[in-house]
């Protein structure tokens, strides 16, 4: 033990105060700042390819409405058009949100770019949310195009309501969150491409997106309820019919829950240093 002048000098040195814990408001504000700059950075990443992505997002759903309504003797009745329009819209979102975003995460990890993001004072959830929101502007036109195409070609009388302002962005976020979760969970780029292509194939042919769920075998009906596109397509159909009852609210709740689960899963599985 120190004695004499040394002990007195040591006692006179004040202790370093502990850093004050940040409150919820401060953390939310910090996350908002991180999200803003990360979103701008992600938008700059697609500045050279956005025109091609947008063109593909506009042409593919329009071509689906044009082609699918001419299968067999023609599927231009109101019920068929409702499924074709909603299915084409959600398929376009799934292709960009699930497929492209999952591959984007895979490319970042393969190129070692995650180390760069690890060096920044940001949270994983801010990074993942910025990835999702950066895709909204590219995905939303693909949701609207089928409605416009059906109106011009068949003079459809779908209900265009403010509820679409909830359904469309929420569908984008739900499917994009699933794409993020897949991209962060699957480490192999080759396996990631196989899974993404398989999911797109499943959505087109065996999921209740373009097909009424009652037309599917019972195992596929059960499987369909596990897929976010099922709820996205159904909520869009109900909105276009003007049916905002219990079924619509349940589909919106399911999409919200799946968005949260997808982001939480991606946040848990993403590791900066081992990515």
147 within some domain = yes
Distances 1 to 6, 8, 10, 78 between C-alpha atoms, Å: 10, 12, 11, 90
Identify whether 3 is part of a domain: no
Q: Is residue 6, in this structure, part of any structural domain at all?
A: no
31 within a domain of the structure (yes/no): yes
Has residue 89 got a pLDDT over 80? yes
Residue-wise pLDDT for 218-240, tens only, equals 988 888 888 888 899 999 999 99
pLDDT tens-digit series, residues 120-174? 888 888 888 888 888 777 788 888 889 888 888 888 888 888 888 888 888 888 8
Domain span holding position 76: 26-269
Q: Is position 12 within any domain?
A: no
| pLDDT score of 253 | 94
pTM (two decimals) = 0.79
Is 16's pLDDT higher than 70? no
Look at residue 32 and tell me if it is in a domain.
yes
Q: What sign results for the dihedral spanned by CA atoms 195, 111, 181, 54?
A: negative
Model confidence at 249, in pLDDT bands (50, 70, 90)?
very high
Say yes or no to pLDDT of 176 above 50.
Answer: yes
Q: Has residue 11 been placed in a domain? A: no
pLDDT per residue over 109-126, tens digit each?
887 787 788 788 888 888
Q: Is residue 120 part of a domain?
A: yes
Residue bearing tokens 């992505």: 53
Q: How many domains does the chain have?
A: 1
Tell me the pLDDT of the chain averaged across its residues.
81
């Amino acid at each position: 033990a120190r004695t004499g002048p040394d002990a007195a000098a040591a006692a006179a040195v004040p202790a370093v105060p502990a850093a004050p814990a940040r409150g919820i408001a401060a953390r939310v504000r910090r996350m908002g700042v991180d999200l803003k700059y990360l979103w701008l950075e992600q938008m700059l990443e697609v500045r050279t390819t956005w025109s091609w992505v947008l063109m593909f997002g506009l042409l593919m759903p329009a071509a689906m409405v044009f082609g699918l309504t001419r299968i067999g003797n023609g599927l231009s009745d109101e019920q068929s058009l409702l499924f074709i329009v909603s299915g084409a819209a959600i398929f376009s979102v799934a292709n960009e949100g699930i497929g492209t975003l999952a591959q984007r995460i895979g490319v970042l990890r393969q190129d070692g770019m995650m180390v760069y993001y690890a060096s920044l004072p940001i949270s994983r959830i801010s990074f993942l949310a910025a990835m999702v929101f950066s895709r909204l502007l590219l995905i939303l036109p693909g949701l609207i195009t089928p409605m416009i195409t059906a109106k011009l070609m068949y003079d459809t009388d779908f209900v265009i309501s403010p509820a679409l302002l909830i359904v469309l962005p929420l569908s984008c976020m739900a499917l994009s969150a699933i794409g993020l979760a897949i991209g962060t969970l699957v480490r192999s780029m080759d396996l990631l491409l196989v899974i993404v292509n398989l999911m797109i194939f499943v959505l087109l042919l065996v999921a209740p997106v373009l097909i009424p769920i009652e037309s599917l075998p019972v195992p596929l009906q059960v499987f369909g309820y596990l897929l976010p596109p099922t709820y996205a397509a159904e909520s869009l159909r109900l909105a276009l019919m003007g049916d905002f009852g219990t079924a619509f609210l349940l589909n919106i709740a399911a999409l919200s829950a799946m968005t949260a689960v997808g982001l939480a899963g991606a946040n848990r599985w993403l590791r900066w240093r081992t990515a």
